[in-house]
Amino acid sequence: MIDPATIEKILDAADIVDVIGEFVQLRRRGSNYIGLCPFHNEKTPSFTVSPTKQIFKCFGCGVAGNVVSFIKEHEKLSYQEALKFLAKKYGIPIQERELTQEEIDAKKITESLTIVNEFAHQYFIDILHKNPEGQSVGLSYLKERQIRDDIIEKFQLGYATSSFNGIVSTAKSKGYKEDFLIKLGLASKKNNKLFDKFRERVIFPIHSLSGKVVAFGGRVLKKDEKSAKYLNSPESELYTKGNHLYGLYFAKKTIVSKDKCYLVEGYTDVLGFAQSGIENVVASQGTALTKNQIRLINRFTKNLTVVYDGDAAGIKAAIRGVNLILEQGMNVKIVLLPEGEDPDSVSHKWSSSELIDYLNQNETDFIHFKINLLLKDSGNDPYKKAEMVNNIVDTILLIPDRITRTVYIADAAKQLKMDESVLYRALQQKFYKKRKSGFRKEKKIKPEAVTPQVPEFVSGTYAQSQEEELVRLLLKYGDKEFVYTTKDKDGNEINQKFQVGSFIISSIRSDSLLPEFKNIIYKQIFEDYANGKTDIKYFINHENDDIRKLVANLLSRETKVSKIFEKLGNYTLPEEKRLNELVIGVLVLYKRKILELYRDQIKSEIPKLEDNLELQNEKLIQLNRIIQIISDLTKKYNFTPI
Ligand SMILES: [Zn+2]
Low-confidence residues of the chain: pLDDT under 70: 97, 99, 224-225, 286-287, 314, 317-318, 436-464, 558-573, 636-642
Distances, alpha carbon 637 to alpha carbons 343, 583, 632, in Å: 77, 12, 9
This prediction's pTM = 0.57
Tens-place pLDDT, residues 343-356: 999 999 999 999 99
Distance of alpha carbon 388 from alpha carbon 430, whole angstroms:
15
Residue 323, pLDDT score: 81
Tens-place pLDDT, residues 354-363: 999 999 999 9
Tens-place pLDDT, residues 91-111: 888 877 676 777 777 778 888
Distance of alpha carbon 526 from alpha carbon 504, whole angstroms:
10
Residue 537, pLDDT score: 87
How much distance in Å is there from the Cα of 61 to the middle of ligand 1? 4
Contact yes or no for 301/260 (Cβ under 8 A): yes
How much distance in Å is there from the Cα of 445 to the middle of ligand 1? 9
Report residues near ion ligand 1: CB below 5 Å.
37, 39-40, 58, 60-61
Residue 160, pLDDT score: 96
Contact yes or no for 222/242 (Cβ under 8 A): no
Residue 449, pLDDT score: 31
Residue 271, pLDDT score: 96
Contact yes or no for 164/195 (Cβ under 8 A): yes
Distance of alpha carbon 211 from alpha carbon 540, whole angstroms:
34
How much distance in Å is there from the Cα of 14 to the middle of ligand 1? 22
Helices (H), 131-242: 132-133, 140-144, 149-154, 167-173, 178-183
Residue 307 belongs to what H/E stretch? strand 303-308
Of the candidates 259, 251, 77, the residue with the CA atom closest to the CA atom of residue 155? 251
Distance of alpha carbon 216 from alpha carbon 238, whole angstroms:
12
How much distance in Å is there from the Cα of 63 to the middle of ligand 1? 6
Q: Is the dihedral of CA 38, 44, 46, 51 positive or negative?
A: positive
Distances, alpha carbon 129 to alpha carbons 87, 132, 134, 137, 352, in Å: 42, 8, 6, 11, 27
Residue 464, pLDDT score: 67
List, as one string, the DSSP characters of 333-345: EEEEPPTT--HHH
Distance of alpha carbon 86 from alpha carbon 13, whole angstroms:
9
Distance of alpha carbon 76 from alpha carbon 300, whole angstroms:
12
How much distance in Å is there from the Cα of 46 to the middle of ligand 1? 7
